[in-house]
Structure 1
Amino acid sequence: MTHPRVAILGAGFGGLCMGIRLRRAGIGSFTIFEKAGGVGGTWRDNTYPGAGCDIPSHLYSFSFEKYSSWTRRYPRQPEILAYLERCADKYGLRPHLRLNTEITAMRYAGGVWRLTTASGEEHVADVVVSGVGQLNRPRLPDIPGVESFRGPWFHSARWDHGADLTCRRVAVIGTGSSAAQFIPEIAGVAERVLVFQRTPNWVIPKPDAAFGWPLRLAFHYLPPLQRAYRSYIYRRSENVLFPVLVNGWSARLVRRMALKHLEEQVPDPELRRRLTPGYPPGCKRIVIDSTIYPALSRPDVDLITEKIGRVTPAGVETVDGRLHEADVIVYATGFDTTGFLMPIEVTGRDGRDLHAQWSRGAEAYLGMAAPGFPNLFFLYGPNTNLGHNSIVFMLECQTRYVLGCVRELAARGARSMEVRPEAMAAWSGALSAALARTVWESGCQSWYKTRSGRVTNNWPARTTLYRRLTAAPNPRAYSFRT
């Protein structure tokens, strides 16, 4: 049995997991293309002060490579990156890596995919698996004058460690999860921190703490204990956090928890008022943090809720005409999350343009396959992001499914498999019905949606359902060509 040649795009959690799946299945005919100089994806890129994950450590890891040496309940960026480096070494992925190799175009022709790099090289593959993720292209706000600022300015995902913030006035635009992590780190270092908030976030406590050495030893030498702890975290997320997203029993519980957290940590009633959201919990990503409220309550931190009018050479001007002078501007404004696979040019069968096909919003069968694009699979694709659990779980489901597709191609001696339009249509209908029941449709703006308001990022059901749906490829959903 001859296995197809597989090209994997990206060396983050998804790309590495796909490579490990193939290696463990005895398939060595794959290459992992990574545009950067090392593995890690978002955990290589995001090095801002305090960078970490809001998913508990023991759940934010592969089920087949549990990491018993996590030092904290919630992992920090250096530990996550070290974990991924370790996985690349342990599972023999280094020989399959092509670092500093950015894929700029892919074209399906003659029964194969032809991949073009930024340097003009061409690589040929039978199957392409995209693991570029949703959080890899920083987005700057559409504010006039961004380029005119005379001091250092940068996005939090591309932190300028050469910019000294000591005793300087730092403007932070954005108050999401990343800002909640780095604002407490720079407050007290900077002379003053000006935080510009467009919409307040629901914030619940983050019960973070270091694991003591006895517990770490127990996790290391008693694998059943680690499995039980991981299972507890997973089931709590499914049974307590997921109902919030569908206006279930725990929505009021989480709301009360967040309001109590706000009241306990912010003594100023006026500041509390400005930090209280006016939309249901879960409509935007919930911030899990216990340090941002005390930071915003500091006398040297200002929360500014007036809308920004423009950026000037001297600082940030709000629509009321007031100039807020600053020496440094940090944009914590998230990522371009709905432009899946951008800016790669993707041309499928009969010259189809993937981005034109997705002009009204990206969609894919099971989040992994699109009609007209044979042998192309997406990891962390449309509608597979989670608002309540670990994305690593979803990636494991997807890589297992893609491995099944690779085996199906080899077993049939087929050149290609392509999802049928009728299967795609049935999937889209079921997905739309499920999304209509979620809190994301309640009217707030978030990175889960396109500008037209279509939810293209999130999975609207429990992860247990996704695991069942992706247990194995259904050949009837695909057309095969030999």
Structure 2
Amino acid sequence: MKASTTSGADQIVIIGAGVAGMCMGIKLKQAGIDDFVVLEKAATVGGTWRDNTYPGCGCDIPSHLYSFSFAPKPDWSSAYSPQPEIHRYLQHCAERFGLLGHIRFGTEVTEARYDQAACLWRVSTSNGDTIAARILVSGTGQLNRPLTPDIAGLDRFAGTAFHSARWRHDADLRDKQVAVIGNGASALQFIPRIAPEAGKLTVFQRSANWVLPRNGEAYTSGQQARFERHPWTARLHRWHLYLQRELRFGRMQRDSGRNRELETLARRYLAHMIPDPVLRTRLTPDYPIGCKRILISDDFYQALKRPNVHVETARIDHVEADAVVTADGARHRADAIVFATGFDARSFLAPIRITGRHGRTLADQWHEDPEAYLGMTAPGFPNLFVLYGPNTNLGHNSIIFMLECQARYVLQCIRACRSARFASMEVRPEVVTRFNQALQAAIGQTAWAGSCSSWYKSASGRVTNNWSSHATAYWWKTRKPHWGHFVLRHAGERS
């Protein structure tokens, strides 16, 4: 469906129709604001839940918490929902809240340039269109650009090779020699699904992950009926899940007793599931728990114990036409290679070129250590709001809670600027500096700042993806904008 949009000076452009962009669009609709357009490069909504369709794909946050607070779903099938169910939920929300009429599908944003004289963003698309917008909101998120390692000889591989986020459902893996490169969150989910049908499956592991049991039970029909008949019970269940996870943040404090207790639980789970001491040693991380993303699964360890599965810890040297060759010279035959190597989470908004005042790009400004005020605004980029930006990821709770906080905050900014007829608002540089100094001091006390490399960190070792405290603390900081933190300008006013 082609969106009905306006080209007026007050138009709002949202990039992306994933969870973040949808949340922003729905909040605008609920506030009676209709002069916005959502630019989506794909043919449907859903973002990461549209793109990731690998076997076993699902969420590791409880279903009743990984959903919009304003759109409860009483009939979630299980405690942790599978990808198809989440995608259907998002499609339903887009229809229910009248969002589809605002979305331009098949429209990829290539560039956005701030016109300082007009106080407008000029947004260019792959279709050759240029859209003028007073407000630009990015909903592209952090986990949408698959990262494939540059391995020598990969271009000469004769078999099938693909990233788990772009799963090749036409690839028949039955009785094949399958190489899985990487062992993170995606691999944890699809390895148990493909291991029974593969002839041999070799998992190339660079570093082990801490794994805890998922305990993902299905909801009974009685529970679903109760949530449907008595919505307050579903709300209570959601709050219980939220508070339960808020209390777990204490486990993320570096070198704390609770953090050590959590590591003990993970070690016991590993020892219980993997009796083989050699394999158990390979699967034991060499860094403190929480430094990297903690994974949850009820069937990953079982899959690794299968006789046709081998965990290889030697470094990959190169790829040949029919094999992956490790640094020790061993050839591991492969008919197919599946990359479970995650995403480029450090290049926010890439590959879109965002140019602010004075011609500086956001990529240049965030080249080394991306930072923003509340993860949303950056100096030099008036009227630009980034949802799920720097230091807004969570390691203990639901990102949808954070996105709702951000959407409410941005909505307040839009309303205030319109009522006071401000043409632009731009965060003050000293505000960003103060905010991030305090944030980094706090995050330095967490396990995420520990001695490991992870996608939470920039190349310099600074944690640039995760929030530093409880999700409730973020809600408190974003409950209302502090106007003194911004430079507010009327049209024609010089900077």
TM-score (ref. length: structure 2): 0.96
Q: Is the 8 A contact 1:69 1:220 kept in 2?
A: yes
Cross-structure match for 1:442: 450
Q: Distance in 1 between matches of 2:328 and 2:475?
A: 51
- Encode CA deviations 1:314-351: one digit per residue, 9 max, x unaligned: 11100001110100000000000000011111111121
SS at match of 1:250: helix
What secondary structure, in the 3-state scheme, does the structure 2 residue paired with 1:425 have? helix
Residues 104-140 of structure 1, C-alpha deviation per residue, up to 9 Å, x if partnerless?
0000012100011112211111000000000000000
Match among 213, 219, 229 for residue 221 of structure 2: 213
Give the unaligned 5+ runs of structure 1: none
Which residue number in structure 2 is paired with residue 16 of structure 1?
22
Letter in 1 for 2:424: S
Equivalent position of 2:362 in the other structure: 354
* Superposed displacement of residue 263, structure 1: 1.2
> What is the Cα deviation at residue 236 of structure 1?
1.1
Q: How far 1:365 moved relative to its partner?
A: 0.5
The offset of 1:249, in angstroms, is 4.0
Aligned pairs (5 A) from 1:91-130: 91-109=97-115, 110-130=118-138
- Asked if 1 retains the 8 angstrom alpha-carbon contact of 2:428 and 2:486, the reply is yes
Alignment correspondent of 1:406: 414
1:338-381 superposed Cα distances (whole Å, 9 cap, x missing partner): 00011111111121211111111211110000000000000000
Please give the residue correspondences for 1:27-46 in structure 2 after superposition, counting only pairs within 5 Å.
27-46=33-52
Q: Does 2:63 match 1:57?
A: yes
Q: Does 1:234 align with 2:242?
A: yes
Amino acid in the other structure paired with 1:52:
G
Distance, in Å, in 2 between the alignment partners of 1:373 and 1:391 is 24
Amino acid aligned to 1:24 = Q
Counterpart AA for 1:221 = R
Give the structure 2 partner of residue 319 of structure 1: 327
Per-residue deviation at 1:242? 4.3
Q: Find 2:163's aligned residue among 116, 136, 155.
A: 155
Kept in 2: contact 1:13–1:40 (CA 8 A): yes
User: Structure 1 131/11 Cα, relative in aligned 2: closer, same or farther at 3 Å?
Assistant: same
Q: Aligned-residue CA RMSD in angstroms?
A: 1.1
The Cα of 1:241 is off from its aligned counterpart by 4.2
Partner Cα separation in structure 1 for residue 368 and residue 481 of structure 2: 27
The counterpart of 2:80, out of the listed 74, 79, 86, is 74
CA contact (8 A) 1:3 1:29 kept: no
Instruction: Report if aligned partners of 2:160, 2:335 keep a CA contact under 8 Å in 1.
Output: yes
SS class of match (1:282): coil
Structure 2: runs of 5+ lacking an equivalent: 1-7, 491-495
How many angstroms does 1:244 deviate by?
2.3
Select which of 115, 137, 150 maps to 1:142. 150
Q: What amino acid is the match of 1:103?
A: V
1:176 aligns with one of 171, 177, 184: 184
Alpha-carbon distance in structure 1 between the residues aligned to 2:476 and 2:213: 32
Contact 1:3 1:406 in 2 (8 A): no
Distance 1:147 1:448 in 2: 30
Give the alignment partner of residue 421 of structure 1, picking from 400, 423, 429: 429
Among 395, 399, 415, the alignment partner of 2:403 is 395
Deviation at 1:288, TM superposition (A): 0.7
Give me the whole-angstrom Cα distance separating, in 2, the residues matched to 1:347 and 1:10.
Answer: 18
- How many residues in Structure 1 have an aligned counterpart in Structure 2? 481
Instruction: Look up the match of 2:472.
Output: 464
